[in-house]
Structure 1
């Protein structure tokens, strides 16, 4: 376990401070993705069942008020299935931008080395170039790891909301 921690610490040191920010953003993104799976596995069916039982217990299902209550129930399901999806999409879009920020900071280090040494010595610049490429790679990998879920989760939400709306009879 100590070797894993030391390896992670070395990796973060090679990529600079931006790599730490990318790691936190990726951790947050995956926390929200896993929260969505936990919702669908544990909370979605009981919520649907409770609201459907509430609707089925109503005697009046045709009045304007009843339809407003039905719409509100559908809205509750939509709100719960859409929860945190926007945050996931934002973090997926943010990851490559953070990688680009790491590239810029690494290249600034390269230019600092060039300015201090007065030459373009490849050995001196290698550390900055390495520091520039690692965050770019990490940002792209973070975005790619969440890209699938940022497209699938909104579809699941729309599908589950529509299914629930179909389950509630109009009359």
Structure 2
């Protein structure tokens, strides 16, 4: 219990040193990771069921060579593609947004430094330190948050493309 309390106190001190922008970075990162986990969950559990259902529906068709059959095949592939790529654009946008929110923290922290310099002069380094913290910590946090989502967003995007190609290959048109 003591270690948990120490961890909470360390996080609280970090958030205070970084300023209010860290809460925005936390919110963006949380939403990004919720969407990433949802996509991974979808690929692990739901996609297999949908893929098998589409393949069974296609294989049960008596003919697969007509123009109508090809259009039905294209529609089936398109529906699955829509499901596969759901939220990928949002995840990529949130990944790109993290460093920008971090830069907002840099700007607000530097404004605080300039305010201290204007009111107390540039000789008071201790007074400027809080503003410098609020300028650097959000930038670092935004970059770390973006990197944490970048790898998995790329993986999810590539996996969606690969699964789409595999589905298209498995829906044969000969019969």
What is the 5 A alignment of 1:14-29?
A: 14-29=17-32
Q: In the alignment, does 2:100 pair up with 1:89?
A: no
What is the 5 A alignment of 1:101-140?
A: 101-140=104-143
Rounded Cα–Cα distance in structure 1 between residues aligned with 2:17 and 2:122: 23
What is the 5 A alignment of 1:18-57?
A: 18-57=21-60
Task: Name 2:165's counterpart in structure 1.
Answer: 162
Normalised TM-score (structure 2): 0.93
Q: Indicate the SS of the match to 2:95.
A: helix
Aligned positions, number? 171
Shift of 1:120: 4.0
Rounded Cα–Cα distance in structure 1 between residues aligned with 2:40 and 2:123: 51
Task: Name 1:67's counterpart in structure 2.
Answer: 70
Shift of 1:11: 1.7
Rounded Cα–Cα distance in structure 1 between residues aligned with 2:112 and 2:80: 50
Shift of 1:84: 1.0
Task: Name 1:11's counterpart in structure 2.
Answer: 14
Shift of 1:123: 1.6
Unmatched runs of 5 consecutive residues or more in structure 1? none
Normalised TM-score (structure 1): 0.95
